[in-house]
Chains A and B, each alone.
Chain A
Amino acid sequence: MKAGALALGAAALTLGIAIAGQAREQKVEGLRPVSAFAGIADPGARSVAIFTEMGKVIQHPRCVNCHPRTDRPLQGDAQLPHDPPVSRGPADRGMAGLECGTCHGPRNVAFANGKGSVPGHPEWHAAPIAMAWEGKTLGQICQQIKDRKRNGGKSLDQIAEHNAHDSLVGWGWNPGPGRTPVPGTQAQFGELTRAWVASGAKCPAG
């Protein structure tokens, strides 16, 4: 999404999306910029509001689908179990003989015989089970993200850097034909994360 689109803030964009060969219209929200939260005087309340905005990305199917609570990732905007029925395996990259790389390559590949694509990235894999987000509230995910035992040992600054620049995170904004991208831009998501950290990294209740 170009910079001009960012000015739309929370305005919804209407994208035509083709899924499973059936065209349908779907509203895709943008992300509100950090400046939109400047009017919240209390830092804790501002922090919670910013994380809640980040939740539009974190709880989007593009992100949750590969943060499954079981060994099987999810697929699509409907978040159905991954088909073929793959399993995360010992290194979160699939099982011997049916690894993620059996189908997923280093980039998205459009199907040659119709609409849709198989998603890809050089580091395509499921998030470790300790980082499972599926079925959790935004507050629970927030606590998890702050917990070094469940976030890959990252500091809050490293989390902000990860959200701003990690290219597998960035795949969510470029998911290939047949998938709704996460809202906003990765740069906006990174700015929101930095602002959340700077305001005390407070979590929503629940």
Chain B
Amino acid sequence: MATDFTLNGKPASFDGDPETPLLYVLRDHLGLTGTKYGCGIAQCGACTVHLDGKNRRSCVTPVSMVSGRQVTTIEGVAGKEAEAVHNAWVAIDVPQCGFCQSGQVMSAIGLLRIKKKPSDSDIDAAMAGNICRCATYVRIRQAIHDAAHALEA
């Protein structure tokens, strides 16, 4: 039986093994390769998407778990927090190699939707599951603060 869900605001369906990770469905079957495969075991955060608006690691999410729910990926994320994060990321050139950045961006947006003015420790706690092998952590934290300030203005 097919799994039906909403992907970036549009109906989507996957007619395969319901245990298939959402990440594989997004990348291999639906062609949305912005969400990255890093570790496959929820250790790195590269595969972060939003499930009903909240941060979720898609590599450990069987597609059956998203039946009837809203999935948002880096390709479709929108709204004032997304715009603020996008602008802040560009303004200080956060990425280096970039591989982890879609996950970082999704986690940052998810944080700002809950915490409008996150402290350093709020940011560190929220982003602790997103690894960056280029160690862009200082710029990530600064960009989240910048995005929060922009949203406040």
Residues in chain A within 8 A of chain B (CB atoms): 83-87, 89, 95-99, 101-103, 105-106, 109-114, 116, 118
Contact = CB atoms under 8 A, between A and B. Distances in A.
Contact of A98 (B41, B61, B129): B129
A103 B126 contact: no
Nearest to A83: B43
A118 B128 contact: no
Interface in B107-148: 107-108, 110-111, 114-115, 118, 122, 125-129
Nearest to B45: A84
Contacts of B111: 96-97
B127 A116 contact: no
A99 B60 contact: no
A97 B110 contact: yes
Given A103-B57, A106-B65, A118 B41 contact: yes
Contacts of A99: 54-55
Contacts, number: 80
Contacts of B114: 96-97
Of residues A86, A101, A102, which shows the largest number of chain B Cβ atoms within 10 Å of its Cβ?
A102
Main secondary structure, interface of A, reads loop
Return the 3 tightest CB-CB contacts between A and B, nearest first: A97-B126, A97-B111, A84-B129
10 contacts: A96-B125, A97-B55, A99-B55, A102-B54, A102-B56, A103-B60, A105-B62, A112-B20, A114-B41, A118-B42
Given A97-B125, A101-B56, A118-B41, 4 more contacts: A85-B128, A95-B125, A96-B126, A98-B126
B62 A98 contact: no
Interface in B86-112: 107-108, 110-111
A112 B21 contact: yes
Contacts of B14: none
B5 interface: no
**Interface size classification for chain B:** 20 to 34
Interface in B24-43: 24, 40-43
A112 B48 CA distance: 16
Contacts of A113: 40-41
B129 A111 contact: no
B71 interface: no
Nearest to A96: B114
B125 A105 contact: no
Contacts of A98: 55, 107, 125-129
B59 interface: yes
Nearest to B39: A113
B7 to A, nearest CB: 18
B128 A109 contact: no
B107 A97 contact: yes
A86 B42 CA distance: 12
A105 B60 contact: yes
Contact of A96 (B42, B43, B115): B115
Contacts of A86: 128-129
A45 to B, nearest CB: 47
A101 B111 CA distance: 14
Contact of B61 (A95, A105, A111, A116): A105
Contacts of B60: 103, 105, 109, 111, 118
